[in-house]
Amino acid sequence: MLLAKDNQMSINKNIMLKRFPPIAEAEEHKDKLNPAIRLYGRRFYKDQTPLEYLAEFLLVFASPKSRSENQNNAYSLSLSLNDGFACYWPEDHVALKLFSFFPSSKLETRHPVHQKNYLQAIDAIKARIPGSDEEQNIAVRLIQSLFFGFVGVAKARTWVTYTFLPASVSLLAREVTWNHPAAVKRSKKIEVTDWDSSTEYFDSSTHNFMGRGGELLFLQLANLFSNENLPDIDCNIYHHLYNLQLSDLRDCIESSLRKILNESIEPLGELVNFIESSLIDYKLPQKKGNETRLGWVPSVTRPEALLFATELKNICTSTVGSLEKLELLQLLCTMQVLRSLCFQACRIIEYEIQIEGFMGNYAWIITDPKSDSGMPMRKIAQKSLERIESLLFRAIRSPHLGIVSAEDLKNGDDNCFRLFRKFAKELGLVIPLTGRGQRFVLPPHLLRFLVAALLAPGERVRLTEFYARTFAHYGIALGDRQLAAALAWSGNESGNKDYAVAADTAWIEEALQQGGFLVELSDAVSIVHNPGGKEQRA
């Protein structure tokens, strides 16, 4: 009997680690070095910023994904296999970055040849602007200021590794790095004397900043939509999703994202075309194999991908402005990373306790960010965070992932529980940033995000339904029923129900009311509504 159970567990784990899309056997050895990659796919990366998760996700979505000009799959959530691999062909926009970012980039990585190229690029653009020399200078400075205003990530990087805010398809660019130490060495065979010789030291194959996290989020959706059937979900818990048609959901997301990227700031694309057509001599040569190979995700991640997709649709179809949508989409991508880490960790750990009301089988117990240090709920939220971090720590040490070295485990921890901690703090989901007493909280901007993501634009639901959806999508326990289930999962058996019923949720209702999301019909009935669209009732 025990042997049969072990065999069944082995079969389940093999299914859990099955990949989408299938990759060549020759590539698999790369994944054995990092247990986090084996568990979650290629890959979540701690050093990739939240904005670059979104930018990379949109870059894959908007880029051609086939060599065929007739079926290039741009602006699509579907894939084509090219020589056995899933690939995409992104733009690099190096000439635009030279014009926009060179003057403000890290001084010690500015090569003298690029300084000369930059000045020549300015002259080339001025030559296409009518007016006096002074008027041309003013126009160039204004255009540079405009593009620099769309910088998303700069930090202490060199100009070519800056990332634009992904406000337009014209600002989506692949990662290109500049090997400055090699370029300045006199011993190299190729001496940098002009732009063409400098292109030998640009590299588009690294993933230092665009670390594949956005690719992984894209692959989750591609995996979801590769099958016309919904994942296996409980219709009693997910009644708001049960009648979804995946083809309609995919079409809506694709058209909405395309509209955001192409129509929101349409004149910006025309200006980008003007700059790049003026700087045609400063493009990088197109090398053979210029495509970027996508990684893979576990095939079993379709349930969390479904939650991700429905939330993506709600945000994309709202009537808020494009920049506000981008802010919400960045939050969504970051929250999806945290959710994915917990979902897959619970699968490999195989908890015997099945949590009621959430298929992810974990819970985040949150407290009021302003709660006093002696409040019991604050201590419970602290224990909840410790439980989640312990879960993630143990997940990549599962024997089902194989035996790995201490160094491999360190890499795995960096991209698993340390990534969770880093992103949760950046979101404001965990406070304080340093010191003792770190715990889950729910600040107003995340509550606003939950309304935008979980309710369709204009939708109105009872407060109890909003609490149920928040738990069903993220495992965040707000209401008494959800808190009771979360406490049971956390192992706090004594007095769970009584404490959950007595827990104070007035601060949540007050935050919803201050945000304009709560309508009190009576003392017993409150309605949460998403104002981002035409009104619709649940």
DSSP code of residue 45: -
Q: Name the E strands within 320-388.
A: 364-365
Report how many domains make up the chain: 2
**C-alpha–C-alpha distance, residues 127 and 122, integer Å:** 9
- CA angle 507/512/514 to nearest 5° reads 90
Is 522 part of a structural domain of the chain?
A: yes
Which tokens is 29 given? 């050895």
Which tokens is 349 given? 């750990």
Phi, psi angles (nearest 5°) of residue 73: 60, 25
DSSP code of residue 532: S
Q: Are strands 459-462 and 536-537 parallel, antiparallel or unpaired?
A: parallel
Amino acid 499: pLDDT = 56
Which tokens is 329 given? 């989409």
CB neighbour list of residue 406: distance below 8 Å, 6 or more residues apart: none
Q: Are strands 292-293 and 85-88 parallel, antiparallel or unpaired?
A: antiparallel
Predicted confidence (pLDDT) per residue in 246-263, tens digit: 999 999 999 999 999 998
Predicted confidence (pLDDT) per residue in 317-357, tens digit: 999 998 899 999 999 999 999 999 999 999 998 765 678 89
Cα→Cα distances 444→30, 327, 486, 511, Å:
42, 14, 22, 6
C-beta atoms surrounding 504 within 10 Å: 11
Q: What is the DSSP string of 64-76?
A: --SS-SSS--TT-
Cα→Cα distances 82→21, 201, 243, Å:
12, 27, 34
**C-alpha–C-alpha distance, residues 159 and 153, integer Å:** 11
Amino acid 27: pLDDT = 57
Amino acid 406: pLDDT = 80
Question: What are the residue ranges in the chain where pLDDT is below 50?
Answer: 1-11, 25-26, 494-495, 501-502, 535, 537-538
CB neighbour list of residue 58: distance below 8 Å, 6 or more residues apart: 166, 172, 214, 257, 261
Contact (CB, 8 A) for 324 and 452: no
Which tokens is 226 given? 């590769």
Is 23 part of a structural domain of the chain?
A: no
| Domain final residue, candidates 187, 203, 219 | 203
Report long-range pairs for 484-489 (Cβ below 8 Å, ≥24 apart). Answer: 485/355, 485/356, 485/357, 485/358, 485/363, 486/355, 486/363, 486/364, 486/365, 486/384, 487/365, 487/380, 488/353, 488/355, 488/356, 489/351, 489/353, 489/355, 489/361, 489/362, 489/363
Amino acid 494: pLDDT = 47
Is 477 part of a structural domain of the chain?
A: yes
Structural domain that includes position 459: 364-537
Phi, psi angles (nearest 5°) of residue 479: -80, 175
Amino acid 81: pLDDT = 75
Is 414 part of a structural domain of the chain?
A: yes
Residue type, 480: D
**C-alpha–C-alpha distance, residues 464 and 526, integer Å:** 8
Which tokens is 238 given? 């997910």
Amino acid 288: pLDDT = 62
Amino acid 302: pLDDT = 96
Amino acid 425: pLDDT = 97
**C-alpha–C-alpha distance, residues 292 and 90, integer Å:** 8
Is 114 part of a structural domain of the chain?
A: yes
Is 356 exposed, middle or buried, given 0-12, 13-18 or 19+ CB atoms closer than 10 A? Answer: middle
**C-alpha–C-alpha distance, residues 500 and 437, integer Å:** 21
**C-alpha–C-alpha distance, residues 473 and 310, integer Å:** 10
Is 454 part of a structural domain of the chain?
A: yes
Sign of torsion, CA 176 180 181 185? positive
Amino acid 141: pLDDT = 95
Location of structure tokens 């099955």: 18
**C-alpha–C-alpha distance, residues 438 and 429, integer Å:** 10
| Domain final residue, candidates 161, 185, 203 | 203
**C-alpha–C-alpha distance, residues 341 and 396, integer Å:** 11
Is 132 part of a structural domain of the chain?
A: yes
Amino acid 240: pLDDT = 93
**C-alpha–C-alpha distance, residues 201 and 1, integer Å:** 61
What residues pair up with 88 in beta bridges, in sequence order? Answer: 292
Is 83 part of a structural domain of the chain?
A: no
Cα→Cα distances 13→95, 306, 417, 426, Å:
48, 22, 21, 33
| Domain final residue, candidates 184, 203, 222 | 203
Is 538 exposed, middle or buried, given 0-12, 13-18 or 19+ CB atoms closer than 10 A? Answer: middle
User: End-to-end distance of the chain based on CA atoms, in angstroms?
Assistant: 48
Amino acid 376: pLDDT = 86
> In a 3-state reduction of DSSP, which class is residue 297?
strand
Q: Are strands 526-529 and 518-520 parallel, antiparallel or unpaired?
A: antiparallel
Residue type, 411: N
**C-alpha–C-alpha distance, residues 16 and 39, integer Å:** 9
